[in-house]
Chain A
Amino acid sequence: MPEQARAEWDDVRLKRERLQGLQGEMKRLGLGGLYISDGVNLHYVLNLKIPGAKLFVPAEGEPVAFVRPRDAGYVSMQHERIMPTLYSNTWEPANDEKLDRFAQTIADLMAEHGAAGEPLGVDPLEAPAFHALVRAGVPVADARPAIERAKSIKTQDELAIYRLIGEQYSTTYTAFREAIRPGATEKELAVLVGAAWYEAGGDDVLQLNVCAGEHMNPWRRWPTQRALQAGEFVGIDFHAGGVHGIRGDVSRTFFVGDPPSAEQRDLYRQAWDYLEATTDAFRGGRAIADVVKAVPPVGPEYYEQLYNYNIGHPIGLTPSGYPHVDKDKRPVDDVLKPGQVFAVECYFGAKGSPLAVKLEHMIVVRDGEPEILDAAVPFDERLL
């Protein structure tokens, strides 16, 4: 990882600003506390990945992490308030009695923070744990509106990490492009991309689609032993894990061999034009309904498969989030805000045809035109 990039973010400030954002949303939505079971949400709040852990977040003050003894060692080096896990696997008989103690402990923590009787936001949790909270008389609400809205605006340090991720995509996709040749299999290319990502200092390979030829339409997702052939497209859609689990999401399509047909060039050009115009529609302060209106029209043959995808979706620690921008759903009643990070999608392929082009930008919303994080990731200029 380039040392210069590393110097551009501050881990302690990142954690602090995330918590401030989340607690602000909790107060706005009237939540007295959150009980978080989802590993990714926990990772978000603590900026730490802890398998099997849970978390209580008060509307003010330090969150309490519930961790297994084997993880207490390294967690206590980075977070002040930890307690042993209250229950582990709900399928173990011994846990039936633990669940009531769990609910009581959470009620006590709410009281300790002056929030007794206020709603407790929870994210998806196991049926017995949910019922234990209900039995203990804790008013249960959905934690995710607060979490999702907080996550939607990236902190300054998250944006610095995203800029590094953009650079890492550039070296990784360049390696992918250079390895394209007739005879190479989708799997071989996937292996190479994963290795290139780690070499670029990436942390994790989260989802990697490599599809060649007719595997691009319908988009088959998972790479196979199919070998590339001269005269066809090969597409890549890669969700990569960067620093602290922050995810990127970028797609490209390249041509195998040379030269492309007029039909291939035309499809690629249409897809690229659409993507660039759509990307430009993502502007800070613009209502989501207006973003949808600003998206250019597309031919009826491409419409259905294109809008099986979102126009754009936020990314962060998860591959999507709030607010979605979709074609045929009622638009979210909100405006785009500076600091949101979106993947802008584009899939051009007629139903029944084996031919398709998949492209995807990763952008930061700001006032005026967006910042394109994958600006250095190549397109196939032979097709433009």
Chain B
Amino acid sequence: MLMEKTWDDQRLKRERLARLQASMREHKVGALYLMDGVSVRYALNLRIPSAHVLVPADGEPIAFVRSLDEGYVRLAHSSVRRHIYRADPTDPEADQKALRWADELNELMTEFGVGGEVLGVDSADPVAFLALNQREFRLANAEKIMESAKQVKTQDEVLIYWELGKLYTEIMRFFRDSLAPGITEQEMVSLTYSKVVSLGAEGLLQINVCSAENANPWRRWPTERRFQDGDLVGIDLHVYGPGGYIFDSARTYLCGDRDSEEQRNLYRRAYEYNNSVIQLLRPGLSIGDFKASLPSVPEDFQELLYSFHVAHSNGLTPGEYPSIMKAHKPVDDQFKVNQVLSVDCYFGRVGDGVAVKLEEQVLLTADGAVKMADMPYDDRLLR
């Protein structure tokens, strides 16, 4: 296996929960009730379909699971119960069940010593919301509390990302070396998937392979278009690694060997822009100052470039906080050590049919941003 087990799962779970509970106390929230699968996984470090979790500001979270998942969940987590309420939209008694659930939540919060305090909820069905409103819960947006906890990675999260970086180095080399005229975008996806999982990844969240005019506008989903000699082929890859962590990077390569001066110019522009943005990043820099110091870009490239992020954090979901768009008002905050960011870059003019997409995932260290993978560029386009 390319990836080595360098991290400690128990410590990962413990330190992540500590960050989450600190964020809860800071936001003055007594408990979180999380229904979103990824939020549940963050709180428990376990992937459990259809599970919910109650996280108290102090103490062990309670996992609410279906009977068929109870067996393996108990092997990994101490506090496990059957669901009190699970939205079944066509259940005629859903309203009453949701009210009973709200009453039980109230009791559980009291047992944890946080009765009557604010409850954070992530994404819930309307029946659940209406029940919580009827029982006069004071609600907060759990997503805000979670994002604040997730933005700085623990030591084990960083270790997982370094291992995933090795995988990306390997995958992008494989992708570059496998490109050949005649292969379709879909076939390239299939080849890349096999390589990704055989190297030890948990799976693929999203893979875009876009060639030639399919790269501008960026079509995302692969088609049956066959590569031709002289095509630029872009790949944007979101891989699930150990623990469900998502790495997010992109590259563009020449298929065959008939490159043009226009392609080289575009590639050089993208390469220089992406690397100069990375060099700006350092802990302590405010997001506003970062945006103000971005390299200038000719007007005809701005629309498409800035339709993507300037940079965004990654974790169990892609696009976590901080999430920086050129057009958005900057958040009043600064970069921090151990943030993990993907720095986006897309160079193409509207209507042009040619584009270069590059994206780099970096770790913020005291000395600045460090690339987490050594993914090759296309040297022929940087001549």
Contact = CB atoms under 8 A, between A and B. Distances in A.
A145 interface: yes
A144 B89 contact: yes
B328 A194 contact: no
B204 interface: yes
A15 interface: no
A221 B48 CA distance: 10
Contacts of B67: 308
B139 interface: yes
Contacts of A69: 307
Given A195-B190, A198-B189, A144 B125 contact: yes
Contact of B217 (A73, A127, A207, A332): A73
Chain A interface residue number, banded: 35 or more
Contacts of A332: 90
A142 B127 contact: yes
A70 interface: yes
Given A68-B307, A71-B220, A308-B68, A124 B90 contact: no
Interface residues of B, number: 58
A149 interface: yes
A74 B143 contact: no
Contacts of A51: 206
Contact of A89 (B89, B203, B323): B323
Contacts of B90: 144-145, 148-149, 322-323, 332
Contacts of B331: 92-94
B156 interface: no
A124 B329 CA distance: 28
B194 A194 contact: yes
Interface string B300-335: 000010011000000000010101000011011000
Contact of A205 (B71, B147, B204, B218): B204
A29 B30 CA distance: 38
Contacts of A90: 141, 143-144
A49 B328 contact: no
B106 interface: no
Given A90-B144, A125-B123, A195-B190, 18 more contacts: A49-B221, A71-B220, A74-B221, A89-B323, A91-B141, A91-B321, A92-B323, A93-B332, A126-B122, A126-B141, A127-B124, A127-B140, A140-B126, A144-B87, A144-B125, A149-B90, A191-B198, A219-B71
10 contacts: A90-B141, A91-B143, A91-B144, A91-B321, A93-B332, A141-B126, A195-B190, A219-B72, A308-B66, A308-B68
